[in-house]
Amino acid sequence: MESIELQINRKKVKVEVDPNTPLLWVLRDHLSLVGTKYGCGIAQCGACTVWIDGEPMRSCVLPVSAVGKSAVTTIEGLNEKAEHPVQVAWDELDVPQCGYCQAGQIMTAAALLKKNPKPSHDDIVAGMSGNICRCGTYHRIHNAVKRAAEIASTSTSTKKK
Amino acid sequence: MKTTRRSFIQKTALLSGVFSLGFDWFESKANTGVIQQMNPVLDANRFNAFLSIENTGKIILYSPNPEIGQGIKTAFPIVVAEELDVDWKQVEVRQANLDTQLFERQLTGGSGALKHSWERLRKAGATARHMLIQAAAQQWGVEASTCKTSKGFVIGPNKGQKLAYGALVDAASKLAVPAEVSYKSRADYQIIGSFVKGVDNYKVVTGKPQYGLDTQKSGMVVAQIVRPPAFGSTLVSFDAAEVKKMPGIIDVVSFKNKVAVVGKSTWEVMQARKKLACTYSDTSNLESDSTHKKWFDEGMKTDKAKVERKDGDFHAAIAKVAKVIEATYECPFLSHTPMEPMNFFADVRPGSVLLAGPTQVPQSAQKAVATLLGVPENTIQVELTKMGGGFGRRLNNDYALEAAELSSIIKMPVKVMWTREDDMTGGIYRPAVRYHFKAGLNEKGEMTAFYLRGVGLNAGNSTRQDNFPVGAIDNVLIESFNYNSAITTGPWRAPITNFLASAEQSFLDEVALAAGKDPIQMRLEWLQKVKTNPVGKITYEPDRFIEVIKQVAEKAKWGKKGPNVHQGFSVYFSHLSYVAQVAEAKIVDGEAKVTHVTAVTDCGEVINRSGAENQVIGGIIDGYGHAMYSKLSFDKGVPQQKNFDTYKLIRGNEIPTVEAHFVNNGIAPTGLGEPALPPTGGAVANALFAATKKRLYRQPFAGPDNANL
Ligand code: FES
Ligand code: FES
């Protein structure tokens, strides 16, 4: 057991855990942030994707001790009002079926758009291929990433005006 | 207040505030309505009906069926809201918990929910609307027939006569319930058939707790269960001394061949269980893939197969035909692998039991737990959580029973969680099946004799003996033979037909080729025959079959796409819906690849265009992915694939594009969670055959051994 300080969704928190505990279980069991999902535990499905300093990472294989001072962002911290372009697009295109994989999909998509605000279809397919959706919502996922890029570009261009 | 099934339709004590409509779902014909008013404070947790309107104007629609990703929580309320004539934006949808007195068929399975509830839901909405009109008409002193409704208001014949439903609730609730109500005409539908987004989208995109695995209750401990690694082996002894020394571990207990490790947190339990030393019974004689192959070979030869259907005389007919076509198809066991693994919460106390978790059949969970613990059913409360998929796996409540049993032993509220490995190796699989087909063609190329034998491992009757093309063929013999395997099986999305359709639609392609006929024309000729002169009993409507076939030929431009697009056709009837598909394959870098699927579905009335598309496209991707890639194999009873690194699920970079069209003919709606899946494997195999001239006989098609046996 160790006392570990983390920065999660712009807040400082302290947890008493075994330092080897994957971040996923710290979030879910110790911090009641259950939006991040468990799907495989071996970095295969992407359900547990969170951001570490803005980079998408598989929290199921990331020991909490390795997080250090990095800023952690989970689905709960993306945008509480669901106003992030990716969340807006996900709702507009009605992507979720069971919804279980979608937190991971959304965190992956939002990170992809930060790096590549105007992705081609191939960029989207490649960027999202690490996340499994057992319900088969892949087409809508791809379309929603494209739509989110459009939403983001119109809102920034309006801002510029 | 005590209600019995019968007394539920009686009027109950009227307290002001909420107008709520219930139905006696237990009388299949006489689903007479009743008004109940309930005190929202007293009955805050009790879901009395499908709808309630508060005098504040708030409209709440309750969805009683478990939501598994099939969109029922959105589809049910759409029907009620349509007939109630309210704006979709006005309503709030809530999940009802298990209540056997108020709801009937609170389950998810067999794609049967809408079919079962369509009339009831319409009646719920329409009855309330009629009573609200009545109340307004009385108030204004006008004829009810001169009033109409629009978006939650009753509008009278004279200027200024407009009242919101909320303002009419108290008066409406004092009226008698009309025995007969009329429904909206289809042309006036505002919500049904439109693109309605899932009611839980906000929760999903912001990561709100909703799933069973998200359950957190006060005093709750977590547990994982170590089960015998091989099917057929039993636990002889275990040593938990090391486990108990691990941090965060509260208890280690054993029941029914299992050892449960109970602890404070998931990770601590995961680490501790690795230290458990178990001895199991001898495993040398347990089932391997080679055992299954031997059984399939024997099963194809045995004279003990059960005759499922016989028309004419197959053996006499096949002896006389001009040409015989024969083929054998086979599929492996499959895991359901919903993204959310099995889990359940149970808190067993003297006199009361609380269960919460993802189940497709909450009522059977309640019953089974009552039997297990020897307590009355009405002391067991079941909270329904949203499910991270199920695909049939959650029709079996083994994991809910484990939680209840464990809680009763350790006397603590506990959430039992299966890891992905537990989930994949823990059983209840899609059974492995082998099919042998034989067809006889006369000189004119007509199929006069048709034979099918299905040999399944824990599959029961692995045929669907009354389904098309049966009914069009004079001499038919259909047999099944089942082996009892130690490997546990259960319904997997579109049970049996998920592979039977693939095999059969592929075989019929072989028949068309041998007969020199176009596969679509061949089906249409058969269906004409069924219309005029069916052979024996049939369970399908030939006209609906014909319509989806004709539409898919047109939409997919059958035979008109040029030499580089290789098409494969398939059509199947299941769960009372009809789905025709054309898959397209192209040669990309020297390899055949399925690039597109066009589907035409007749599921009657389309309730939610968005949800319907999701189900069809999702079903096709599911059917395609598993046909291509997935397989669970066994060595001495042990599943050889344990997680997604070796058990392959389709990913987003491997999908064909899909077009989903609907006949949308206004017939009462039928199932959509499953019927799009069965035809896909056949359409895909036929397209790949068209591209490569190589027939795929064994799933997974992308596997090494897919040739004819
Ligand atoms: S749970 Fe982390 S990748 Fe699957
Ligand atoms: S929506 Fe169900 S797993 Fe993706």
- Find tokens 């042990």 and name the residue: B638
CA distance to partner chain B, nearest, from residue A48 (Å): 11
Which of A12, A44, A78 marks a domain boundary? A78
- Nearest CB partner across the interface for B652, out of A75, A80, A128: A128
Q: How far is A22 from chain B (nearest CA, A)?
A: 8
Nearest CA among B651, B634, B654 for reference residue B642: B634
CATH number reported for the structural domain that contains residue A47 in this entry: 3.10.20.30
Q: How many CA atoms lie within 13 A of B14 on its CB side?
A: 13
pLDDT given for residue B39 in this prediction: 26
Residue A141: is its pLDDT beyond 80?
yes
Q: Which range has the worst mean pLDDT, B123-127, B363-367, B472-476? A: B123-127
Same domain? A44 vs A68: yes
Atom of ligand 2 nearest to the CA of A135: 2
When pLDDT is averaged across residues B684-702 and rounded to a whole number, the result is 96
- Position in ligand 2 atom list of the atom nearest CA B389: 2
Residues B271, B291: contact at Cβ < 8 Å? Answer: no
Q: Over the stretch B650-664, which tens digit does the pLDDT of each residue have?
A: 999 999 999 999 999
- Put simply, the answer to whether B614 touches A41 (Cβ < 8 Å) is no
Instruction: Assess contact for B559 and B551: CB atoms under 8 A.
Output: no
Q: Work out the burial of residue B367: count CB atoms within 10 Å of its CB; fewer than 13 is exposed, 13-18 middle, 19 or more buried.
A: middle
Number of helical H runs and strand E runs in chain A: 6, 5
DSSP code, position B151: T
Q: At what angle do helices A102-115 and A85-92 cross, to 10 degrees?
A: 130
Q: Which has more confidence, B13 or A70?
A: A70
How far is ligand 1, taken at its centre, from the CA of residue A131, in Å? Answer: 9
Residues of B in contact with A110 (CB under 8 A): none
Whether residues A6 and A74 share a domain: the answer is yes
B61-102, pLDDT tens digit by residue? 877 777 777 778 888 889 989 999 999 988 888 877 776 666
Helix (H) or strand (E) holding B608: none
Token pair of B452 as six digits: 């099918």
Predicted confidence at residue B27, as pLDDT, reads: 28
Cβ of B389 and A34 within 8 Å? no
* Mean pLDDT (chain B, rounded): 89
Q: Can B5-204 and B290-333+429-692 be said to share one CATH topology?
A: yes
B271-329 pLDDT, tens digit each: 999 999 999 998 788 999 999 999 999 999 999 999 999 999 999 999 999 999 999 99
In this structure, CATH architecture of domain B212-282+355-417: 2-Layer Sandwich (3.30)
- B389 CB near ligand 2 (under 6 Å): yes
Tell me the pLDDT tens digit for each residue of B254-274: 999 999 999 999 999 999 999
Are the beta carbons of A42 and B388 separated by less than 8 Å?
A: no
Tell whether A89 and A71 lie within a shared domain.
no
What residues in A contact B643, CB-CB < 8 Å? Answer: 40-42, 44
CB A28 near ligand 1, within 6 Å: no
Contact assignment for A78 to B420 by CB distance below 8 Å: no
User: Residue A44 belongs to what domain range?
Assistant: 2-78
For residue A56, give the ligand nearest its CA: 1
Share of chain A above pLDDT 70, in %: 96
What pLDDT is recorded for position B706?
65
State the distance from the centre of ligand 1 to the C-alpha of A57, rounded, in angstroms. Answer: 10
Residues 6+ apart with CB under 8 A from B60: B51, B52, B53, B54, B91, B92, B93, B94
Q: Is B244 helix (H, G, I), strand (E, B) or coil?
A: helix
Chain A environment of B619 (Cβ under 8 Å):
136
Are residues A72 and A89 both part of a single domain?
no
CB contact under 8 A, B266 and A28: yes
Tell whether A54 and A96 lie within a shared domain.
Answer: no
Contacts A–B by Cβ distance under 8 A:
184
CATH at residue A156 = 1.10.150.120
pLDDT surpasses 60 at B416? yes
A109 touches chain B (CB under 8 A): no
User: Nearest residue on chain B to A64, judged by CA atoms?
Assistant: B267
Q: Domain B290-333+429-692: which topology?
A: Aldehyde Oxidoreductase; domain 4 (3.30.365)
Task: Tell me what pLDDT residue B92 has.
Answer: 86
Residue in A1, A86, A98, A131 to test binding to B, most B beta-carbons within 10 Å:
A98
Q: pLDDT, tens digit, for every residue of A71-83?
A: 999 999 999 999 9
Q: Would the pLDDT of B670 be above 60?
A: yes
pLDDT above 80: residue A110:
yes
Work out the pLDDT band at B106, boundaries 50, 70, 90.
low
**A41–B618 CB contact, under 8 Å:** no
| A114 and A154, same domain (yes or no) | yes
Q: Is the pLDDT of residue B20 over 80?
A: no
Cβ-based neighbour number of residue A16 at 10 Å:
9
**Sequence-ordered alpha helix ranges (H) in B313-436:** 314-320, 362-373, 398-410, 420-425
Q: Are residues A73 and A94 in the same domain?
A: no
CB contact under 8 A, A94 and B197: yes
CA of B610 to the centre of ligand 2 (A): 15
Is pLDDT above 50 for B705? yes
Residues in CB range of B134: below 8 A, 6 or more apart: B144, B172, B175, B178
Look up residue B408 and give its two tokens: 């009763």
B198 to A21: CB separation less than 8 angstroms, yes or no:
no
Q: Do A66 and A96 have their domain in common?
A: no
Is the pLDDT confidence value at B634 over 80? yes
Of B422, B431, B418, nearest in space to B334 by CA = B431
A156 shares a domain with A106: yes
CA distance B556 to chain A (A): 19
Compute the distance between CA of residue B276 and CA of residue B226 in angstroms, rounded to an integer: 9
pLDDT of B332-345, one tens digit each?
Answer: 999 999 999 999 99
- Give the Cα separation of B201 and B386 in Å (integer): 12
Query: Six-digit token pair at A48?
Result: 């547990």
Return the residue of B nearest to A30 by Cα: B265
Angstrom distance (rounded) from CA B38 to CA B579: 45
Comparing B74-83, B401-410, B685-694, which segment has the lowest mean pLDDT? B74-83
The answer to whether residue A102 neighbours chain B at the CB level (below 8 Å) is yes
Contact B296, B253 (CB under 8 A): no
B399 touching A (Cβ < 8 Å):
no
A74/A92 same-domain check: no
Nearest to A138 among B198, B206, B652 (CB): B652
Q: How far is the CA of A102 from the centre of ligand 2 (A)?
A: 6
Q: Residue B117 belongs to what H/E stretch?
A: helix B113-140
Domain final residue, candidates A27, A46, A78: A78
Q: Which ligand is nearest to the CA of B337?
A: 2
Say if residue B32's pLDDT is above 70. no
Q: A42–B644: do the CB atoms touch at under 8 Å?
A: yes
- B-interface mutation test, from A134, A140, A141, most B Cβ less than 10 A away: A134
Q: Of A61, A78, A95, which residue constitutes the final position of a domain?
A: A78
A128: distance to nearest CA of chain B, Å?
7
Does B559 score more than 80 pLDDT?
yes
Q: What is the CA radius of gyration of chain B?
A: 28
Residues 33-92 of A with CB under 8 A from B: 33-42, 44-45, 47, 74-76, 78-80, 82, 87, 90-92
Q: Report whether residue A7 contacts ligand 1, using a CB cutoff of 6 Å.
A: no
Please give the CATH architecture assigned to the domain spanning B5-204: 2-Layer Sandwich (3.30)
Domain-wise residue ranges, chain B: 5-204, 212-282+355-417, 290-333+429-692
Domain total of chain A: 2
